Amino acid sequence: MTWNTVHLIFIAMMMVKRVLLYEEDIKRLEAIREYIESNLDRDMNIDYFVRTFGIGDSTLRKHFRQHYQTPLFHFIHDLRMNKAMELILNRRLSIQQISQAVGYKSRTAFTAAFSRYFHSSPAAYSRKNLSEQQ
């Protein structure tokens, strides 16, 4: 086999693996995304989405990743961290209030997640951005 033949076979296999999403699937995924964006303060798990939106667990994971190019829970985590950053920069809420607003039950868990994501604690991030604004 030549390199071109192998390459064409690989491309064909990847195309078969990729599932076409129907309009109904896309609408369901967009409804899930809207729910997530509007409810970052709530606990979210796969069972909730499966029951509420009438979609199978593996189908949801596969279709969400395909449509949004990221796994479902990475998407949620990214939204939570970016919302937390926005709230920290607004300086209207305490770290405890921000942690609850983005779905963390404990300030400690939130601080650890924020620190891993931004390589800075919420307090240090806030101080750094305050000094840059002055």
Domain count, the chain: 2
Residue-number span of the structural domain to which 48 is assigned: 21-73
84 and 129: one domain?
yes
Instruction: Tell me: do 83 and 69 sit in the same domain.
Output: no
Task: Return the half-sphere exposure (C-beta side, CA atoms, 13 A cut-off) of residue 30.
Answer: 7
Q: Give tens-digit pLDDT for 102-122.
A: 999 999 999 999 999 999 999
CB within 8 Å of 31: residues ≥ 6 apart: 53
Measuring CA to CA, which residue among 50, 54, 42 is closest to residue 101?
A: 42
**Helix crossing, 23-38 with 72-90: angle to 10°?**
30
Q: Is residue 47 part of a domain?
A: yes
Mean pLDDT, rounded, for 1-7:
64
Share of the chain above pLDDT 70, in %: 83
What's the confidence (pLDDT) of residue 130?
A: 73
Domain boundary among 73, 88, 116: 73
| Residue 61 within a domain | yes
Over residues 12-32, the mean pLDDT reads: 78
Band of pLDDT at residue 16, cut at 50, 70 and 90: very low
Confidence of residue 62 (pLDDT cuts 50, 70, 90): very high
Q: Same domain for 123 and 81?
A: yes
The alpha-helical segments, DSSP class H, found in the chain are 3-17, 23-38, 46-53, 57-68, 72-90, 95-101, 107-118, 122-133
> What is the number of other CB atoms lying within 10 angstroms of the CB of residue 5?
9
